[in-house]
Structure 1
Amino acid sequence: MKKIILIVFAMATLVACNSKPSLQEYLVKKENSAEFISASVPTNILFQNLENLSSEEKSSLQKIDKINLLALTKKKGEPILEEEREELRSILNQPDYQSLLNFSSGDREARLLFVGSEEKIDEMIFFGYDSELGLLLLRMRGNDVNANDIYQITQSAQNLDMTSMSGSFGKLIGELGQ
C-alpha cells in the first residue's frame, strides 16, 4: 500500500513540475508588476452605448463577460521586453491555444487565438508586439461565444462609442499611447 501511495505521489510531483504556465498564471503574476500596465474590465463598463448596434451585435457583445489587458511599453520595460515576449510566445504555442490569425513583419507581430471550439469559444486572445512600442495582451472571456459572435463583435467595433469608457480605463488607454 505504501508503494502505491509513493508511486502516485511521485507521478503527481512529476506532472506538476512539467506543467507549463497558463495564460491566467502569467496575467496574475504580472498584474502587480511596476513595469506592466494591467486592467481587468467587466464589459458592462465598456459597452454602455449599444443603441447603434443590431440586436445580433448586441447579443454577441453581451456574451463577453470580462476583458483582461496587460501591456508592457518599451519606455517602462525595455530591459525585459524580449524576455516577456518569448515567455508569452511559449504560453501561446501550447496546444490549448488555437490560432485564427498570425501576422509578422520585421519587428512586429500579432496573433489572434482562441481556447475552446468554434461552437463554444471560452477565451479569445490577442497578442501584439512592436519593437518600438512594446507588447499588448488582451484576453476576452465569455459564455456561449461562437465563431459567429466573434464576427459580430468585430463588425460592431466600428459602431461602438468608445468615448463613454470609464475614466480610469480611458486613462489606461492613454498610457498605452505614450
Structure 2
Amino acid sequence: MMAVLAVACNSEPTLQSYYVDHQENDNFVVLDVPSSLFLGDNSNLSEEDRKALKSIRKANVLAFPVNDRNTEAYQNEKATIESILKDKKYKVLMKLGSSGRNVKVMYLGEENAIDEVIVYANDDTKGFAVARLLGDDMDFSALMKLMKSASKGDVNVNLDVLGDFGKEIEEKSGNKSSEF
C-alpha cells in the first residue's frame, strides 16, 4: 500500500501530463490526429512497411509559437519541457542542431517494441513543438525503413488533416511564415 501511495504522490511531470495540462493554454497550438486520418492508401508498400504503418495509432503535436508578448512564458515552458525530456525513460535516437535550431528524436520502450516516438524541436525565434507518435510495439528498424520510403514519396500521407494547424501557429506567433 505504501508503494502505491508513493507512486500516486510522485509529482514529477510526464510528457503526457504536460500535454494534457497545456492543451487549453492559449499560448499553445494542439493537434491530435488518429493515424487513420493522416495515412492514405498505402497498398503499394511492402508488407513490412504496411505493418510498421499499422503499428502507429495516432500523432499528437503541442506547439508553442513565440511572439513579443510571450517570450518569458516561452522560456519557462521550454525549460519545463526540456526538464521532462531529460528523464532516463526517454531514450535519445538522434540530435540535430544548427543556427539556434535544435531537434531531438527520442522514444519510449525498447527498440523492437516502441510505444512512443517523440520529436522535440525548438528555435528561440519561432518557438518549440513536441510531436508524439503513439503506437503499439512499433519497431525502430521498420520505422526507419518507413521514413526512408516516406522521404522518397512512396508513403501516402494526407497532409490536408493539418488544416488550420499551420495558420493557427502563424496567427499566434505573429509571423507570416512559421515553419517548425
Q: CA RMSD in A?
A: 2.3
Which stretches in structure 1 are left out of the alignment for 5+ residues? none
Does the residue aligned with 1:26 lie in a helix, a strand or coil? helix
SS in 1 for 2:164: helix
C-alpha contact (below 8 Å) 1:60/1:152 kept by paired residues: no
SS at match of 1:81: helix
1:25 and 2:5 aligned? no
Dislocated runs of 4+, deviation >4 Å = 11-18
Unpaired segments ≥5 residues, structure 2: 170-176
Q: CA deviation at 1:78?
A: 2.5
Q: Look up the match of 2:129.
A: 136
Which among 37, 46, 69 is matched to residue 38 of structure 2?
46
For residues 147 and 100 of structure 1, what CA distance do their matches in structure 2 show?
Answer: 10
Q: For 1:92, which of 85, 103, 108 is the aligned residue?
A: 85
* TM-aligned CA deviation for residue 17 of structure 1: 4.6
* Alignment correspondent of 2:51: 59
Q: Choose between structure 1 and 2: higher helix proportion.
A: 1
Q: How does 1:1-178 map to 2 (within 5 A)?
A: 8=2, 16-51=8-43, 53-75=45-67, 77-158=70-151, 159=153, 160-162=155-157, 164-167=158-161, 169-176=162-169, 177-178=177-178
Larger Rg: 1
**Alignment TM-score, normalising by the size of structure 1:** 0.82
Deviation of 1:140 after TM superposition, in Å, equals 0.7
| Aligned-residue offset at 1:53 | 3.3
TM-score (norm 2): 0.81
Question: How many residues are matched?
Answer: 168
